[in-house]
Structure 1
Amino acid sequence: MRSFIRHYLLALQFFSRVPVTGRLADWVGFSPAMLRASAAHFPGVGWLVGGAVALLTWGLWVLLPPSPYSPLVAAALGTVLSVVMTGAFHEDGLADVADGLGGSLNRERALDIMKDSRVGAFGAIAVMLALLCKVALLALLGSLGAGVMVGAVFAGHVVSRTWPLLTIRLLPHVGDTAQSKSKPLADQISLPALLVAAMWCFGALALTAAAPAAIEMAAIPFSASDWCRALLGGVLAAAVAWLWMYRWFSRRLQGFTGDCLGATQQVCEIAFYLGMACALGGAA
């Protein structure tokens, strides 16, 4: 349990802006091996980020006036909170990947572009469209009820942080390994670490599936089985998105970089919300 907590707190340090400093940071410690082990808790970071966004969403739902625009406001402010909590870590990865793979068909040139800290047209457009898609889809889910939106945003943050770990497992790390902050994470993720990540993910899905508020406060009538199918639709859509990203990186880069992991998280999160929305549309 001591190692579990230390690895989780290290994951918070690496994957978010949640302060783990001072004596607590000294107790956690650091080593490349610990950082590698902390990758198993990437979905656990989603519990904290997604939980905070879900709480904000619920609070705004209570405070805002009843209006068709209230879900849009809650979705936008919840997205702002998620960006603040992660320091736009994953959005930055999406921008770098879009600049690199959109800016050159040559593998080495694409990797060089991805290492450039400046954001180009491809990166700016990709981040803008990703944020627009997230806010629009969450607002759509929010129009079906507060519980639907809260459950979707919590589960989405956890599920989308699980799929990138399969990329680490199946592809080699490429790029400037001497300067890459993600290299200790990418040597190889073990099967026990994947099992821990899966437990984080399944736990979040089970908690969301069992939440009665998602069904009771829905604007359209649907059953518990409809809600579970919606979550399954989100997971399957995220899986398809991961597979597409995996094949893209395999073909274009013959591997992955840390930016690829962030980009995968963003695309899988959007796909999760889309899958849930489509499944609930079928139920309606």
Structure 2
Amino acid sequence: MNHANRYFPLVGFLIALFLSAIYLTFCVILPLNVSVILLVIASLLLTGAFHEDGLADMADGIGGGTTIEQRLVIMKDSRIGTYGTVTLVLSLLLKYTLLLTLANQQLLIPSLILAYTLSRALAASLIFNTTYVVDSAVSKSKPLANRQSLSELIIVVVSGGLALLVLVNEPWFLTLATAIVLVLVVFRTLFRRWLIKRLGGFTGDCLGAAQQMSELLIYLTIVAVSQHYVNNTLLSINGGIL
């Protein structure tokens, strides 16, 4: 179990395939917007809202505590507060909106595969060079957060990066791949520094939050790049007509 983090991207890949099958089934009998919201519900049921719980707990702890000790205590509290509620609601709303946009662009399934795989790779990579700050005797992520070797990090990064190939046939693939890598590198750097400043390191909840935040960033990047490409194409067509 100490080496299980190397399989995070693979787990994300398998979950995305399962959710894609569910989504395609919904689309046969239901409107697109209904299928997308049911997809979000299915993802929560399938994972037990594990990562969303981490996001809410981290928001409550860091938002509500004034010292590292207070923040860690709040994050261990099973009750959800204002910071966690607002963060969770807004993140789910943003996720639904982005997925609906991607569905309209016929990009939802490859985006799911890419985001579920690569976001888990990013979360797992935090274990490599960030201090774990919770007593392992009481932590729900004890088997995952003790250590990560360089070889395990390489497996995580490579397996996560391979997911980019699901969009290789898009004419804007190179632009998208470059944008996603840059966005995630910047996010990981800033997020890690923020965690060290606020908590002294990371907790299991922070890994869940990292997964959720990077998943949303991937969707945002895909939407932005595809929209830019569509706009440029339309301008070229209109320019040619004029």
Superposed pair shares fold, TM > 0.5: yes
Q: Give the residue type in structure 1 aligned to 2:226.
A: L
Please point out which of 83, 91, 102 is paired with 1:141.
102
Judging changes above 3 Å, is the alpha-carbon distance between structure 1 residues 245 and 139 closer, same or farther for their aligned structure 2 residues?
same
CA distance in 1, matches of 2:9, 2:64: 31
Q: Give the residue type in structure 2 aligned to 1:262.
A: G
Q: Map of 1:42-191 to 2, 5 A cutoff?
A: 42-65=8-31, 70=32, 72-145=33-106, 148-191=107-150
Q: Give the residue type in structure 1 aligned to 2:62.
A: L
Task: Give the 3-state SS of the residue equivalent to 2:193 in structure 1.
Answer: helix
Q: What do you get for the CA RMSD once the two structures are aligned?
A: 1.7
CA distance in 1, matches of 2:79, 2:127: 26
Per-residue CA deviations over 1:22-80 (Å, capped at 9, x if unaligned) read: xxxxxxxxxxxxx1111100111101111112222233334335xxxx1x323211111
Q: Give the residue type in structure 1 aligned to 2:148.
A: I
User: What residue in structure 2 maps to residue 230 of structure 1?
Assistant: 176
Sequence identity, in percent? Answer: 36
Q: Map of 1:197-208 to 2, 5 A cutoff?
A: 197-206=156-165, 208=166
**Shift in Å, 1:200:** 2.3
**Shift in Å, 1:225:** 2.7
Task: Give the 3-state SS of the residue equivalent to 2:121 in structure 1.
Answer: coil
Task: Give the 3-state SS of the residue equivalent to 1:162 in structure 2.
Answer: helix
**Shift in Å, 1:184:** 3.0
> Are residues 1:39 and 2:5 paired?
yes
Q: Is contact 1:164-1:264 (8 Å) kept?
A: yes
Task: Give the 3-state SS of the residue equivalent to 1:255 in structure 2.
Answer: coil
CA distance in 1, matches of 2:5, 2:82: 31
Q: Which moved more, 1:155-164 or 1:72-81?
A: 72-81
Q: Which moved more, 1:181-190 or 1:238-247?
A: 238-247
Q: Is contact 2:125-2:156 (8 Å) kept?
A: no
TM-score (ref. length: structure 1)? 0.76
- Of structures 1 and 2, the one scoring higher in RCO (CA 8 A, sep 6+) is 2
Alignment: residue pair count: 230
**Shift in Å, 1:241:** 2.8
Per-residue CA deviations over 1:175-201 (Å, capped at 9, x if unaligned) read: 232201223322210111122222321
For structure 1, the 5+ residue unaligned runs are 1-34, 213-223
Q: Is contact 2:52-2:208 (8 Å) kept?
A: yes
TM-score (ref. length: structure 2)? 0.88
User: What residue in structure 2 maps to residue 209 of structure 1?
Assistant: 167
